């Protein structure tokens, strides 16, 4: 069998592809691991690879200071050469980043099948660049590994031509595999000033690049009825500095700003916190893992993780300061029992995905 080319570009992709890489190696299928460097900072990429005890990528590069168009052009160029040289049986991508779409295009143009892990997610909000990326990737993919029946229905509604398989989401696999390790290794709780806290993240371009929205977030965190622990994305820190807000949030006694965290540290904070406030898609999923089971306030106008909302884990609260504050207050004062099972599967998504690949390319 020709190698399975596994491509990542960002921190969430590394996390969600880690179980797939392990499952491929467990089944002794030839693998070629590529990291495209959309997240090139050590704390945003290599630290995660080390935390998850993954082998170093077989090929990697960095995309410093590039616009989205330039990023995609560079990735397509690199991936075109790699796909031509390695002639993989399939190129596996995960999610909805520029890396995902660019790699899928490069493989498709070389006539190599694309496998899209986490296919079929839809926010139905075309203001989001991620919505463009995932839709286009789904329509050039030969194999679509949908995490839920809802995602499968989205794909069928759009009449995608590839084969659809419902597998669950590999992020649940990742939590199950790594939380026990995190609780043994992580020392992050010794650094936290608060006994009770809300864990917050914000990084999406449509939020942090909008000064009004960014100010809403910072003021809401500062006025939260429960202290906030805030691991800060480099993009967010840059925008805060540009607008003279970074010193303000750093001096706030009720907010503890942290640098970007490794995956193990973040898992421990998710387990310990009372509530998550985030614009991240992956965190909405991780919070539903049985070992975490935490409510999530989504500080966006929409979500592509509707299953988390329907199951009672997540609530979309928008980007207004008062709406965020009211939602935090309601969540900490009126705690509700959350489901014992995740709507994103049973933690065996990677195994199911790799089994399908094996059936298509080895047993065929």
Query: Annotated active-site positions, please?
Result: 203
Q: Where are the alpha helices (DSSP H) in the chain?
A: 11-26, 46-51, 68-86, 98-109, 129-140, 149-157, 170-185, 205-208, 211-222, 234-242, 246-251, 263-272, 281-286, 306-310, 321-333, 349-361
Residue 339 and residue 312 in contact, taking contact as beta carbons nearer than 8 Å:
yes
**What's the count of helices (H) and strands (E) in the chain, helices before strands?**
16, 13
DSSP state of 304: S
Residue 14 and residue 37 in contact, taking contact as beta carbons nearer than 8 Å:
no
The C-alpha atoms of residue 346 and residue 283 are separated, in whole angstroms, by: 17
Give me Rg for the CA atoms of the chain.
20
Q: Where are the alpha helices (DSSP H) in 243-300?
A: 246-251, 263-272, 281-286
Q: Dihedral through CA 130, CA 135, CA 139, CA 145, nearest 10?
A: 80
| Nearest Cα to Cα of residue 6 among 92, 82, 89 | 92
Q: On the CB side of 116, how many CA atoms lie within 13 Å of its CA? A: 35
Residue 307 and residue 148 in contact, taking contact as beta carbons nearer than 8 Å:
yes
DSSP state of 59: E
Other CB atoms within 10 A of residue 313 CB = 24
Residue 33 and residue 18 in contact, taking contact as beta carbons nearer than 8 Å:
no
The C-alpha atoms of residue 297 and residue 38 are separated, in whole angstroms, by: 27
DSSP helix, strand, coil percent of the chain (3-state; round to 5): 50, 15, 40
């Amino acid at each position: 069998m020709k190698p399975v080319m596994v491509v990542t570009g960002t921190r969430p992709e590394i996390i969600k592809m880690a179980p797939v890489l392990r499952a491929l190696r467990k089944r002794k299928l030839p693998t070629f691991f590529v990291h495209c460097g959309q997240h090139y900072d050590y704390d945003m990429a290599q630290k995660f690879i080390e935390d998850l005890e993954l082998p170093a990528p077989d090929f990697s590069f960095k995309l410093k200071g590039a616009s989205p168009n330039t990023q995609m052009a560079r990735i397509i160029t690199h991936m075109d050469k790699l796909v031509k040289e390695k002639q993989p049986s399939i190129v596996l991508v995960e999610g909805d980043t520029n890396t995902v779409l660019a790699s899928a295009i490069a493989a498709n143009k070389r006539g190599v099948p694309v496998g899209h892990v986490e296919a079929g997610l839809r926010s139905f909000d075309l203001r989001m660049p991620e919505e463009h990326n995932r839709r286009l990737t789904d329509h050039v993919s030969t194999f679509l590994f949908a995490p839920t029946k809802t995602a499968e229905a989205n794909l069928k509604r759009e009449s995608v031509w590839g084969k659809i398989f419902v597998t669950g989401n590999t992020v649940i696999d990742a939590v199950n595999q790594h939380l026990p390790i995190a609780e043994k290794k992580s020392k992050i709780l010794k650094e936290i000033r608060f006994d009770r806290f809300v864990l917050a993240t914000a990084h999406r371009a449509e939020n942090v690049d909008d000064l009004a929205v960014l100010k809403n977030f910072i003021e809401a965190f500062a006025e939260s009825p429960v202290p906030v622990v805030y691991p800060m994305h480099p993009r967010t820190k840059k925008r805060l500095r540009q607008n003279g807000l970074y010193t303000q949030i750093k001096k706030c006694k009720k907010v503890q700003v942290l640098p970007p965290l490794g995956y193990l540290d973040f898992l421990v904070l998710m387990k310990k916190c009372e509530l998550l406030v985030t614009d991240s898609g992956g965190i909405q999923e991780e919070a539903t893992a049985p070992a975490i089971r935490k409510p999530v306030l989504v500080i966006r106008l929409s979500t592509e993780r509707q299953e988390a909302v329907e199951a009672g884990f997540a609530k979309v609260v928008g980007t207004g300061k008062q709406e965020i504050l009211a939602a935090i207050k309601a969540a900490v004062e009126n705690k509700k029992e959350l489901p014992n099972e995740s709507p994103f599967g049973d933690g065996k998504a990677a195994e199911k995905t790799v089994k399908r690949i094996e059936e298509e390319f080895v047993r065929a």
